[in-house]
Structure 1
Amino acid sequence: MSEQHIHTTDEHAHGEHEGMTKKKIWKVFGILLLITVIEFIIALWAIPQGHLTQHTGNYIYIGLTLIKAFYIVAYFMHLKFEKRGLQLALTVSFIFIIYFITLMLIEGGYLHVHMPKV
């Protein structure tokens, strides 16, 4: 009886992560490494040499960081292999958090948004 229970547990543990193979892990690692190298090139070469402004560089950093966050959450935290309901709940929560942070920065005067005068 206990052998059957151990066997079932092993099958369940293997089935949870069947989407991640060594090849896919290395592919995601390569993508993350490439993004990091691009960030270093921007920080150490493009901005100091004047090819990009600091303002443009910041927007590129934010975009690249969001892409890296997606890959980390999707593959290494296994969200990509979860059910759609959980994915949707986490995505909507994340969007609201970003929205509220943006609102707080605007209201606190840290972001200057040009609003038409009424």
Structure 2
Amino acid sequence: MSEHNVHTSEGHGHEEHAGLSRGKIWKVFGILLLITVIEFIIALWAIPGGHITQHIGNYIYIALTLLKAFYIVAYFMHLKYEKLGLQLALTVSFIFIIYFIVLMLIEGGFIFHHSQNF
């Protein structure tokens, strides 16, 4: 009766995630921290100091945020260790999301500049 409750890791697929060690987790954490520090430097020093414009800063924010999203999804949500079909499905969806973000920025700027004439 007690042999029914024996738990093994054979059927759970933990060997697929063996590449995600503590060192790798800390490396990804360091990369995410570095990206966040760069975002804060841009927000608190570069844009207010006039080193870059707000327009350029927005595009840098979006690029850095998408890079952070990639690291979070790939390593902490284990997408890097999934099958190729799921990776492709999510990547294509992600590309469409990026396209719609760019489209909304363009259209939002157009509406903002042309609504001031009314």
1:110 paired to 2:108:
yes
C-alpha distance in structure 1 between counterparts of 2:26 and 2:37, whole Å: 16
Residue 13 of structure 1 deviates from its aligned partner by 4.8
Q: Secondary structure at the match of 2:43?
A: helix
Q: Does 1:63 align with 2:63?
A: yes
Q: Write the distance in 2 (CA, Å) between the matches of 1:67 and 1:6.
A: 38
TM-score by length of 1: 0.79
Letter in 2 for 1:97: I
TM-score, normalised via structure 2 length? 0.79
Shift of 1:71: 0.2
Aligned pairs for 1:18-97 (under 5 A) are: 18-97=18-97
Q: Which has the higher contact order (CA 8 A, sep 6+)?
A: 2
Q: Deviations over 1:22-70 (max 9, x none)?
A: 0000000000000000000000011111111111111110110010000
Distance across 2 between alignment mates of 1:97 and 1:34:
25
Q: In the TM superposition, what is the alpha-carbon distance from 1:6 to its structure 2 partner?
A: 1.5
What amino acid does structure 1 have at the position aligned with 2:40?
A: F
- Show structure 2 runs of 5+ residues with no match: 111-118
Alpha-carbon RMSD across the aligned residues, in angstroms, is 2.3
Give the equivalent residue in structure 2 for 1:2: 4
Shift of 1:80: 0.4
- State the identity %: 73
Gap regions ≥5 residues in structure 1: 113-118
- In 2, Cα distance between equivalents of 1:23 and 1:106: 38
